[in-house]
A and B are shown apart, each in its own frame.
Chain A
Amino acid sequence: MAVLEGGKISGKQFVALTVLTRILAALIEAPTISGTDAGHDVWIAVLISTILVLPWALILVHLAKMFPGKTIIEYSQDILGPWLGRLVGLVLIVYFIQQSAHAARVAADAYVTTIMPETPLIVFIATLTALSANCARCGLEVLARAADIVFPIVIFLLVLILVLPFNIVDFFNLLPIAAYGWGSIVEATFSSFAIFGELLVMTMLFPYLDEKKDTGRLAVTTVLVSGFLFTWLSIMIALVFGPVMESLILPAFSLSRAIELAFVVERVEVIPLVAWTLGAGVKQTVFLWAAMLAIAQLFNLSEMKSLAYPVGALVAAFGVWLFSTVFDALQFFTATKFGPLGILVCYAIPVVLYIGALIRQAVRPSRREEGQM
């Protein structure tokens, strides 16, 4: 079979790609995205979900080690058999396309809400998708190098937003803990957990790491770094806005608007705008690339480059169609909307695969043969 993706990425690039993928949500809608009324306690939910995600990330790593050089699309067929495995692959393709579209959509929504209210949504989505499709067409190495450049910029900008409002924080805003009851924190944890599922895209990236032995360390780094940044952001927004934070639609943007230092550093809301663009670009491209690779592998195509524009078009259409109002977007990951489905796709599938793989290993120790079927 032809090599679909010949690229190799370094560990640093892997972390850049995955953390950027995670961070888009932080830049735009977290922690409001949890869509719950946990208020200033959201940071607890974020922290709990970060810890809950760790074992799952290790399962993904272990799966990658059991099937070296294979993506989740390939080994799901090895484990569950060709038919059930292909079904799983199909579900994942839809998920990747949906995530890619989601990235473009939230960024586009944010532009329209904040600076360009008259510009049609499709303009932003189409522009972002055109860029992403071209980048994804060039393959993983180009994407990884782009992430390499973008990563320090986005992190710098995010940290700037997180540090500059230091003069208006009120630490007592975090009290009392669990002001709205633990029920709301559990709900918020659920949403945060569902959003964390984005890291499933790691299973598509693992085979292309140049240093395979670092896989576990890198996955844990990604989870911890992104969890840390999310927690920090949630705390900072609570410290600055207190009881107002529940009503904010774009908390990081509002946070940047609140920055006012000595009449010099103020009106810096362009910072999140730059970060959104860069973050959304990377996230959308990662998932677009993952969708392309998954389609090519599932249908045994000989190359994946030509998929870039068709899948891109699908992503753009999906992006426009995804939400009808901003409230849909905010509630997207709650228990009554996409949340359970997201958890099913991102968490249940890998766990079932892992159990299946363990059973296969136990029943038939000559797993290698099976893998090369």
Chain B
Amino acid sequence: MSRRLRVILVALLLVIPVVLGGCWSRREIERLAFVQAVAVDKAVEPNKIQLTVELARPSALAATSQGGGSLERAVWQVSATGYNVFDALRNFASQSSRQLFWAHNRLLVFGEDIAREGVEDVLDAFFRDPEMRGSTKVAVCKGDTGANFLQAEVPLERVPSQGVVGIVLNGVEKLSTVVDVDVALFDRALAAEGLEPIAIRAEIIDLVSEDESRGSLERGTISKAPRITGAAVFRGTKLVGWLNKAETRGFNWIKGNTQSSVIVVEKPNERDKFLSVELVRANSKLRTEVVDGKPRVIIQIEAMGNFADRENIFVNPEGIAPSVLSIERQMATVIKNEVEAVIKRAKEFGSDIFGFGEAFHRFHPKAWKQFKEDWNDKGFQELEVKVEVKTMLRRSGLIELEVPLGK
């Protein structure tokens, strides 16, 4: 054996193991089933949980990309039960011909029952496994199971979970009556002192069944659609209640999460007629104080809006300025009411979802030591909240006040 040959052989021997390392953990794409969404519910058997996954069907999805809509459903829903998440996950192997692949999972839905009992074990699994991602959205289905929620479809999307995530993003951007919570955020809220988690509130609504007029949109009949609005309030890992639309927007005002929204106010010159103001920007500042050993927070909210509706301000003999002022005052009142409503509701639930406690922990660490023990039941309940709202009305789109209607 020549020296050169020997060198080459040794080099090969050294290189091959590097590549071989991958063989143990190799996964072929044909053997994977991509999880799009997962629902967690209580199983019928005691002490067991049921997982339902929504798996993408590549064959059905591929058909659309080559033109011509496929009539097949693009997803397959399948359930498995087990004593804990990991057990249930592995039990899918007895039903699915492909390994479940989790990295593309976008939605985690809890049924109301299991959420009320506590979700700590479930969440742990979703944070521990390196295949799971922190950006998976966390929702709770109000009044129903998560499995049923996965059946609800948005007719616009082929993959139901894509529809749900789309609604969440849309709701956050356009309405601000929705919260956008993912696993990482939920987990952070659980880990923090003086901050309780919230989740997306999901509901199922029935679509009117009109089989004849369904036309070419087949894919079975879509009888149920998802609706995302409001928020689910947790205390620790247990669901304690729900926020409605206005309260959720109140929550978003406090957290400075409001992006765009609509504020409906009464027209300055006409009773019981309403005009919409498009909110374009809002931000909030939170100040904490300890006065005589009592916690106090001051929330300063600034909101800027545009006219979004016709308004004949000239009717007002005093001119434009007082009308604008009236609208601005009404906006401030709406915001203040919503903020106060959500704080009242959170106090009823005994759950500091705003992180006021965390703010005291950060800025008044000494005082926090006294509040810490029973913050949700005592400190938070006694908390004095002062809300200061400043609103501004700025632009009116392309039209000054209204399209002239002729006289």
Q: Which residues of A contact B (CB under 8 A)?
A: 111, 113-120, 123-124, 126-127, 130-131, 134, 172, 175-176, 179, 241-244, 246-247, 257-258, 260, 267
Question: Given contacts A111-B21, A117-B25, A243-B188, could you give 20 more A-B pairs where the C-beta distance is less than 8 Å?
Answer: A115-B25, A116-B21, A116-B24, A116-B25, A118-B25, A119-B24, A123-B20, A124-B21, A127-B21, A134-B14, A175-B363, A175-B365, A176-B365, A179-B365, A241-B188, A243-B191, A244-B187, A244-B191, A246-B191, A260-B135
* Contact across chains for B18 and A127 when beta carbons are under 8 A apart: yes
| Interface mask (B1-26 → A, CB under 8 Å = 1, otherwise 0) | 00000000000001001101110110
Q: How many contacts between A and B, using CB within 8 angstroms?
A: 62
Residues B320-376 near A (CB distance < 8 A): 361-363, 365, 368
- Interface of A, secondary structure class, is helix
* Contact across chains for B21 and A130 when beta carbons are under 8 A apart: no
B193 located at the interface, meaning its Cβ lies under 8 Å from any Cβ of chain A in the complex: yes
Chain B residue numbers with a CB within 8 Å of A120 are 24
Q: How far is the CA of A176 from the CA of B357 in the complex (A)?
A: 12
Chain B residue numbers with a CB within 8 Å of A258 are 134, 184
A to B CB contacts below 8 Å, 14 in the list: A116-B24, A131-B14, A134-B14, A175-B362, A175-B363, A175-B365, A176-B362, A179-B361, A242-B188, A243-B193, A244-B184, A244-B188, A244-B191, A258-B134
Chain B residue numbers with a CB within 8 Å of A267 are 103
B174 located at the interface, meaning its Cβ lies under 8 Å from any Cβ of chain A in the complex: no
* Contact across chains for B25 and A114 when beta carbons are under 8 A apart: no
Chain A residue numbers with a CB within 8 Å of B227 are none
B220 located at the interface, meaning its Cβ lies under 8 Å from any Cβ of chain A in the complex: no
| Interface mask (B183-194 → A, CB under 8 Å = 1, otherwise 0) | 010011001110
B48 located at the interface, meaning its Cβ lies under 8 Å from any Cβ of chain A in the complex: no
* Contact across chains for A123 and B21 when beta carbons are under 8 A apart: yes
Residue of B nearest to A176 (CB): B365
Residue of B nearest to A39 (CB): B191
B133 located at the interface, meaning its Cβ lies under 8 Å from any Cβ of chain A in the complex: yes
Q: Would you give the shortest CB distance from A288 to chain B, in whole angstroms?
A: 16
B46 located at the interface, meaning its Cβ lies under 8 Å from any Cβ of chain A in the complex: no
Q: Would you give the shortest CB distance from B266 to chain A, in whole angstroms?
A: 39
Chain A residue numbers with a CB within 8 Å of B362 are 172, 175-176
Q: How far is the CA of A120 from the CA of B25 in the complex (A)?
A: 10
Chain B residue numbers with a CB within 8 Å of A175 are 361-363, 365
Q: How far is the CA of A113 from the CA of B130 in the complex (A)?
A: 8
Residue of B nearest to A130 (CB): B14
Chain B residue numbers with a CB within 8 Å of A257 are 133-134
Chain B residue numbers with a CB within 8 Å of A247 are 191
Residues B174-205 near A (CB distance < 8 A): 184, 187-188, 191-193
Chain A residue numbers with a CB within 8 Å of B24 are 116, 118-120, 123
Q: How far is the CA of A124 from the CA of B197 in the complex (A)?
A: 40
Q: How far is the CA of A244 from the CA of B133 in the complex (A)?
A: 15
Q: How far is the CA of A179 from the CA of B25 in the complex (A)?
A: 42
Residue of B nearest to A116 (CB): B25
Q: How far is the CA of A261 from the CA of B81 in the complex (A)?
A: 36
Q: How far is the CA of A176 from the CA of B365 in the complex (A)?
A: 6
Q: Would you give the shortest CB distance from B292 to chain A, in whole angstroms?
A: 21
Closest 10 CB pairs between A and B? A175-B362, A176-B365, A116-B25, A243-B191, A119-B24, A118-B24, A243-B192, A118-B25, A244-B191, A127-B17
Q: How far is the CA of A258 from the CA of B20 in the complex (A)?
A: 30
Q: How far is the CA of A175 from the CA of B358 in the complex (A)?
A: 10
* Residue from A114, A123, A176 in contact with B130 in the complex, judged by beta carbons closer than 8 Å: A114
Residue of B nearest to A173 (CB): B362
Q: How far is the CA of A243 from the CA of B193 in the complex (A)?
A: 8
Q: Would you give the shortest CB distance from A271 to chain B, in whole angstroms?
A: 15
Q: Would you give the shortest CB distance from A156 to chain B, in whole angstroms?
A: 23
